Amino acid sequence: MSIGVFDYDFFNYENVIPNLECAKLITYYRQHNQLTVLTPTLTPEPYTRYFIRKDYDDGNYPRKLFSSNCEYGGRAFNPERYVPLSPAIERTIPDMHIYDPYLSNFGKKTAEQEQLKRILNCAHIRLAPDSQNLLSFEKLQPNFNKVTGIFLHDYDLASLKPYDLILRLQNQREFRTRPGINPYPVGNKFPIKIYSSEELEKWYKIITIPNAFFIEYYGYMTDKILYHLCNENKRMARQVYYNITYGCSTENQFLMERLPKIFTQVLFLRMAGIKILLNYDDEFLKTKEIRDLIELLNCWLSFQWYSAYAPHSQPLYKFCRDNSYFHYTKWVYLRFVKLSLEEIRNVFQYIREHNYELFKMFYEWDEVKYQGGKIVNEWD
């Protein structure tokens, strides 16, 4: 009997984290003397059994996925809860190096392929295979044999409240430096969804893998929490999706009350050299000009702040005046975003008509500072 395994996301998109179930399946069946291969294309025909895993719902479900010899699964089919494999396969310590021949699928740049090597050398685990109950430290410990980090594959880590377990796992590392133990850095495949500043504070002590630990924050993050996050864990801060519309009852409330606060935080983030991705609910924001403003702010965050420049020389208006194109890669879904000069002009005109105080900030605000628990204008 021959067995094929296909990681739909990894082989169809760049910069996608390898699938844990694919690695477990291949490792398990090889240990039981079954001819098992990772296939780089969707080709179920030559195999007796063909396993397919697909985590991202891109709306594309080829007919071959449902062939008679195919066994499909993944978050795209069960978005709320992970459907565990058989207990014997779940207990298998995966050999993630089955992905070594396919480093180029992760990206064209050497740095991107080095990032995948770093990820593959981690202990890849689910803290709660049943999506509810954390495994014990003792049951997880066998995964830590010659690894350089920890990579978590749970769909909803925040609901598990796993801070103490993660801290214990990362601090078991034997490698020591002069100050003490050098903890295992931690990464995660699916964003950790957080809804309060108090909850976010509990994650501060986690040592993260650069560009591989993702948090999605829903609602308004207080200036105080944003300041402490940027100062106490910059690696984590650079990997936050900030869902800024959550908690607003109307689009007008968002425009008049929340958006000016978000704008001041963007100024602070630029000065700190930290890019946080601003996200929004497409269904909630009906006005194109407001959506385009958020995309413009994301683009602005991609550009460097220059501390040596003269005061009042880097407001949003001058950034838009001095550039002829505005684009960036939205790294949540690897989507390229581009705005035209006409769209930028429409944004400015709309804000001028509907929130003049915010419109003035586009011209007058550039440097800000954290003072008394608030981000304020440096020149007030």
Q: What is the pLDDT of residue 177?
A: 59
Tokens 């992905």 label which residue?
99
Residue 293 has pLDDT above 50, yes or no: yes
Distance between CA atoms of residues 20 and 136, nearest Å? 19
Confidence bin at 15 (pLDDT 50/70/90) = confident
Q: What is the pLDDT of residue 179?
A: 65
**Global confidence as pTM:** 0.87
Distance between CA atoms of residues 201 and 233, nearest Å? 11
SS3 call for 278: strand
pLDDT in tens, 238-259: 888 999 999 999 999 999 999 9
Residue 335 has pLDDT above 60, yes or no: no
Distance between CA atoms of residues 38 and 21, nearest Å? 12
The structure tokens listed for 62 are 């080829």
In our burial notation (b when 16+ CB lie closer than 10 A, e otherwise), range 251-288 reads eeebbeebbebbbbbbbbbbbbebbbbbbbeeeebeee
DSSP 345-358: HHHHHHHHHH-HHH
Mean pLDDT of the chain: 91
Residue scoring higher pLDDT (377 or 356)? 356
| End-to-end alpha carbon distance in the chain | 74
Looking at residue 356, its amino acid is: Y
Confidence bin at 197 (pLDDT 50/70/90) = confident
In our burial notation (b when 16+ CB lie closer than 10 A, e otherwise), range 116-141 reads bebbbebbbbbbbbebeebbeeeebe
Share of the chain above pLDDT 90, in %: 73
The structure tokens listed for 53 are 């895993």
Distance between CA atoms of residues 50 and 28, nearest Å? 14
pLDDT in tens, 81-103: 999 999 999 999 999 999 999 99
Confidence bin at 333 (pLDDT 50/70/90) = very low
